[in-house]
Amino acid sequence: LRIAAAVAPIGAVVGEWVGSAGGLGWLMLHANARAKIDLMFAALIVLAALALLLYLGVDRLMRRATPWAQSSDPATLTDS
């Protein structure tokens, strides 16, 4: 679920590349066609930030929804 939430914005942008008259994907294509590299990188940074925020948000929700799930980190496991 975490990975799907992080990859979903990328899928939306690809969909906007194929056929759209607005959105982040359209903005990236528009900037690329007019050699506006700064606008292209700004859109890419916004896309990365959105994907990261969605990943962290879903991760936090999953941790709250499943408090019984143990960590797989060996440093946090105790011998019982």
- Residue 73 — very low, low, confident or very high, per pLDDT cuts 50/70/90? low
Token pair in block for residue 46 = 């916004």
62/56 Cα distance (integer angstroms): 10
Q: What is the mean pLDDT of residues 3-28?
A: 87
Strands (DSSP E) contained in the chain are none
What is the distance, to the nearest Å, from the Cα of residue 44 to the centroid of all Cα atoms in its chain? 11
Quick one: pLDDT at residue 20? 78
67/48 Cα distance (integer angstroms): 29
28/4 Cα distance (integer angstroms): 22
22/24 Cα distance (integer angstroms): 7
Quick one: pLDDT at residue 10? 87
pTM exceeds 0.75 for this model: no
pLDDT digits (tens, 9 = 90+) for 34-67: 999 999 999 999 999 999 999 999 999 998 988 8
